[in-house]
Amino acid sequence: MKTILTAALLIAVAPAFAQVHVNGYTKKDGTYVAPHERTAPNNTNLDNYSTKGNVNPYTGQPGTKEPDPYGSLSRSTPAVQPLQPIRPIQPVQPQQQMANPYALPQPSSNRF
């Protein structure tokens, strides 16, 4: 019973975590914007009050903006890179014997 009550409380409170309070401010052009609540910033507009299909719970107004089809407003369209020509694989040449840079004793090549 306690688990069910806790789950119901979390479901009821969840929408409160998805919004933030915005203090009133004056724009550069002199327009005053009153304090208000808005959805918390994230990478999609699908959950914004102003998006079609959603209703602002404070004003009762339906959303008017089109949903972002890709789910991200901050993601820019990637630039298309031109195809690079395929270079043939060069055969690997055997490396020459290098001098021993650490002056370690060289193994003897004479084996019995």
Q: How confident is the model at residue 9 (pLDDT cuts 50, 70, 90)?
A: very low
Report the alpha-carbon distance of residue 24 to residue 70 in Å, rounded.
Answer: 31
Question: Which whole number is the average pLDDT over 12-36?
Answer: 81
DSSP string, 36-54: EEEEPP-S-STT-TTBTT-
Report the alpha-carbon distance of residue 56 to residue 36 in Å, rounded.
Answer: 11
Q: pTM for the whole thing?
A: 0.40
Report the alpha-carbon distance of residue 64 to residue 53 in Å, rounded.
Answer: 8
Tens digit of each residue's pLDDT (9 = 90 or more) over 45-89 = 888 888 899 888 888 999 999 988 776 544 555 667 777 777 777
CB 35 within 8 Å of CB 47: no
